[in-house]
Amino acid sequence: MIFVIPPLITGWLPFIGVTLDYVSNPLGFLRETQKKYGNVFTCKIAGKYFTFVTDPFSFSIVMRQSKNLDFQKFAVGFSHRVFGHADFSSSLFSESYREVHSIFRQTLQGLSLQQLTETMLSNLQMVLERGLPYEHDWLEEGLQSFTNRIMFEAGFLTLFGKDAGFLQADGTSGTRIWMQKAVQDFLAFDRAFPLLAAGVPIGLCAEAWQAREALAEELLHDKLHHRKCISDLIQRRMDAFDRMHLDETGKARTHVCMLWASQANTLPAAFWSLYYTLRSVDAFTAACTEVNRVFSGQLINNQDQTLCLSREQLDSMAVLESIIEEALRLSSASMMIRVASNDFTLTLDSGQTADVRKGDYIALYPQLIHLDPEIYPDPTEFKYNRFLDEKGQRKSNFFKNERRLKHFLMPFGSGASECPGRFFAVHEIKQFLALTLWHYDLQLRDPDATLVPDGTRAGLGILTPSRDVLLRYRRKTNTTTE
Ligand code: HEM
């Protein structure tokens, strides 16, 4: 066995270390450093020591170290700082927070997932139907604005339920006006997220602070009690927070946190999935064929003409799944962080060992895998069928050094921090794609213009586009099935 203390890359500047090189281009920096120093190295970033493990075969070894490597400590502290709710890592709350945490998995899988997915389908159709132009004229809107508007509202209503709804004197719905403001508040808060994540106190980001508080105002328990069809996830969190005797604003802020988790990655992921579909003739044709197969001939005998998508039908949409996975591969730039709770020695896949000290951060950067040309030839190209095998079924065998990879696509993280909403996220994006392709003729105004992801969010999840692009759309003539 070879014992190795990971090389330490501190840069020239005290405290700052290599922060500037890392922040300006994390992927480029990590690739270069990997080339120079090998698969494991420690970098000084913003005064903290991060040990990066870059060999994909060692990812599961890190994931299995839950005794020595803690995820909650970092995540809960981060959430407390950014969202302003109680510090659940304190001994006062840690026991009851374990219960709150277990609610994710109980309510985002199995029967609850089924219910959530059905509610989302119905909400998506309600939002889409309302936005459909009556005439068959073309409308223009930014694709990002289109996606955010539809997905935010449908997702919000699915989790937090609907309010009784009231009509204002001029006939406009107060609920809808609030929803338009809510999406703007959400985006204003989300725009500041990279700064907040870097440690800037929210008090210094006035717009973000106001936006967060405006969202919290609507998520106070007093108001939530008046909403109908609240998801199990939110209802059970409300009950648990009531039992913990948090103050009312603190409870509302935990719901803002949940809202952010449910939307911040989903909105850009839905954007990229639709964007790439519209840019590629092959993807568009294959996706429309699949959507037509599922919806065509669907007998609509209910009065409100809603379309159904059973779990089996959703699962059978392998082309849409591959499009979504490929869009996630290209746009995901999350960083998985664990904090060492003990001194220990990490033995990597190669047999190489790395001494880790209590308090050190261990970091994995899945984009190194997602854009590795050996695993994915032409890694920056969108190939709609990359995740399909020759039979058109989901492909899951990807190789590096002729070895099959367990972890080849990790937009949802893995191990203890794996996103509990991942199944729902894929369902809702599939539903969004299927419904928009079915109801609308859609075209990008300038399909040849290139669009790059906004790198300032690297490390935080799905990257947003650096700008919006114009979408032309109109109601299809045959959107109602016979
Ligand atoms: C955590 C990705 C959608 C709920 C995470 C993490 C990732 C992720 C990478 C782990 C973060 C970390 O390691 O620090 C995504 C992506 C999504 C998505 C790419 C969409 C494309 C959703 C949705 C929900 C959700 C729709 C809920 C309805 C959560 C929650 C956590 C989480 C609650 C924290 C889990 C914990 O503390 O253990 N997500 N997510 N996510 N996600 Fe998602």
In this prediction, residue 482 carries a pLDDT of 38
pTM attached to this predicted model: 0.94
Cα–Cα distances in angstroms (integers) from residue 394 to residues 145, 320, 326, 411, in the given order: 31, 11, 12, 17
Please give the distance, rounded to the nearest whole angstrom, from the Cα atom of residue 260 to the centre of ligand 1: 9
Count the Cβ atoms, other than its own, within 10 Å of residue 166: 8
β-strands 8-9, 40-45 pairing: parallel
CA distance 41 to 6: 5
Please identify, by atom number, the ligand 1 atom nearest to the C-alpha of residue 424: 26
Q: Is 273 in the pocket of ligand 1 (CB under 6 A)?
A: no
Q: Is 154 in the pocket of ligand 1 (CB under 6 A)?
A: no
Cα–Cα distances in angstroms (integers) from residue 417 to residues 104, 243, 337, 459, in the given order: 11, 25, 9, 15
> Is 176 within 8 Å of 163 (Cβ atoms)?
no
Q: What is the dihedral of CA 245, 246, 251, 254, to 10 degrees?
A: -120
**3-state secondary structure at position 306:** coil
Closest alpha carbon to 426 in 416, 411, 441: 411
With vertex at residue 319, the alpha carbon angle to CA 317 and CA 320, rounded to the nearest 5 degrees, is: 70
What would the two tokens of residue 293 be? 């197969």
pLDDT 10s digits, 396-436: 999 999 999 999 999 999 988 899 999 999 999 999 999 99
Please give the distance, rounded to the nearest whole angstrom, from the Cα atom of residue 206 to the centre of ligand 1: 26
Please give the distance, rounded to the nearest whole angstrom, from the Cα atom of residue 14 to the centre of ligand 1: 34
Q: With bands split at pLDDT 50, 70 and 90, how would you rate the model's confidence at 89?
A: confident
Please identify, by atom number, the ligand 1 atom nearest to the C-alpha of residue 410: 9
Q: With bands split at pLDDT 50, 70 and 90, how would you rate the model's confidence at 221?
A: very high
Please give the distance, rounded to the nearest whole angstrom, from the Cα atom of residue 391 to the centre of ligand 1: 31
> Is 194 within 8 Å of 457 (Cβ atoms)?
yes
Q: Is 334 in the pocket of ligand 1 (CB under 6 A)?
A: yes
Please give the distance, rounded to the nearest whole angstrom, from the Cα atom of residue 210 to the centre of ligand 1: 24
CA distance 325 to 359: 34
Please identify, by atom number, the ligand 1 atom nearest to the C-alpha of residue 425: 26
Please give the distance, rounded to the nearest whole angstrom, from the Cα atom of residue 83 to the centre of ligand 1: 16
CA distance 264 to 221: 23
Q: Is 411 in the pocket of ligand 1 (CB under 6 A)?
A: yes
CA distance 129 to 292: 18
What would the two tokens of residue 472 be? 């032309």
Q: With bands split at pLDDT 50, 70 and 90, how would you rate the model's confidence at 168?
A: low
CA distance 455 to 209: 23
Q: Is 462 in the pocket of ligand 1 (CB under 6 A)?
A: yes
In this prediction, residue 103 carries a pLDDT of 96
In this prediction, residue 481 carries a pLDDT of 43
Q: Which of 60-74, 187-201, 405-419 has the lowest mean pLDDT?
A: 60-74
Please give the distance, rounded to the nearest whole angstrom, from the Cα atom of residue 418 to the centre of ligand 1: 7
Asked if the model's pLDDT at residue 137 lies above 80, the reply is yes
> Is 274 within 8 Å of 326 (Cβ atoms)?
no
Please give the distance, rounded to the nearest whole angstrom, from the Cα atom of residue 306 to the centre of ligand 1: 29
What would the two tokens of residue 266 be? 């989903």
pLDDT 10s digits, 253-306: 999 999 999 999 999 999 999 999 999 999 999 999 999 999 987 755 445 678
Q: Which of 59, 124, 265 to mutate to test the pocket of ligand 1 (most atoms within 8 A of CB)?
A: 265
**Residue 264: in which H helix or E strand, if any?**
none
Cα–Cα distances in angstroms (integers) from residue 44 to residues 2, 343, 364, 399, in the given order: 24, 19, 15, 32
- 138 or 171: which leads in pLDDT: 138
Q: Is 17 in the pocket of ligand 1 (CB under 6 A)?
A: no
Please give the distance, rounded to the nearest whole angstrom, from the Cα atom of residue 256 to the centre of ligand 1: 14
> Is 15 within 8 Å of 47 (Cβ atoms)?
yes
Please identify, by atom number, the ligand 1 atom nearest to the C-alpha of residue 462: 19
> Is 215 within 8 Å of 179 (Cβ atoms)?
no
Burial 324-358 (b: 16+ CB within 10 A, else e): bbbbbbbbbbbbbbbbbeeebebebeeebbbebee
Q: Is the dihedral of CA 108, 423, 195, 7 positive or negative?
A: positive
What would the two tokens of residue 350 be? 């190669």
Q: What is the dihedral of CA 157, 161, 167, 172, to 10 degrees?
A: -10
Give me the percent of the chain exceeding a pLDDT of 90: 69
Q: Is 460 in the pocket of ligand 1 (CB under 6 A)?
A: no
What would the two tokens of residue 26 be? 């994390």
Q: Which of 83, 102, 256, 419 to mutate to test the pocket of ligand 1 (most atoms within 8 A of CB)?
A: 419
Please identify, by atom number, the ligand 1 atom nearest to the C-alpha of residue 258: 33
CA distance 91 to 347: 32
Mean pLDDT over 356-361 rounds to 89
Please give the distance, rounded to the nearest whole angstrom, from the Cα atom of residue 421 to the centre of ligand 1: 6
In this prediction, residue 331 carries a pLDDT of 97
